[in-house]
Amino acid sequence: MPIIKLSNGLRVCNFSSPHDFSFEDSSILKACSLDHAEKYKVNFNEVKTKQLINNIEIENIELSFSLSDVLLKEVKEIIKTWKLKNEYDLIIIPLTMLNAIKENKELKNIDLKELPFRVIRMRSRTEKKVKVDQFCL
């Protein structure tokens, strides 16, 4: 996983995004390889229903997210070892993965504040710069 040190001293790594992150301090957290990103993606669970709007049929898709077996195993390994390894302070994950962690029965009683998993917080939608001191849980 790519790791950088931000201007405020935080060491952050990219868990699975195939895209670079540009931070407001000009730091750039590099993308993961496409193979890595594919291996650690969440399951997209879809429930489809049909609906008529103005006599036009559309399909509504309700999404939920879950951790694949491989991803759950990796999350558990990170929980077990990240403090011991001391390689990074935060690990940037997609919002879908954060939601899947929150909904996972095996991880339900874990306090996310005590773990490194965080979602980026953009400084603004138009600038596409990630904040260095605010992250989402």
Structural tokens at position 10: 């935080």
Report how far apart, in Å, the C-alpha atoms of 96 and of each of 57, 132, 137 are: 28, 21, 11
**Residue ranges of the domains in the chain?**
3-136
Report how far apart, in Å, the C-alpha atoms of 40 and of each of 6, 8, 75, 132 are: 24, 28, 10, 24
| Whole-number pLDDT of residue 65 | 94
Q: Cα 135–121–81 angle (5° rounding)?
A: 35
Strands 90-92 and 11-14: parallel
How confident is the model over 37-87, as pLDDT tens digits?
999 999 999 999 999 999 999 999 999 999 999 999 999 999 999 889 989
The mean pLDDT of 10-18, rounded to a whole number, is 96
Helix (H, G, I), strand (E, B) or coil at 115: coil
| Whole-number pLDDT of residue 46 | 94
Longest dimension (CA), the chain: 60
Instruction: Indicate the average pLDDT of the chain.
Output: 93
Q: Is residue 119 predicted with pLDDT exceeding 90?
A: yes
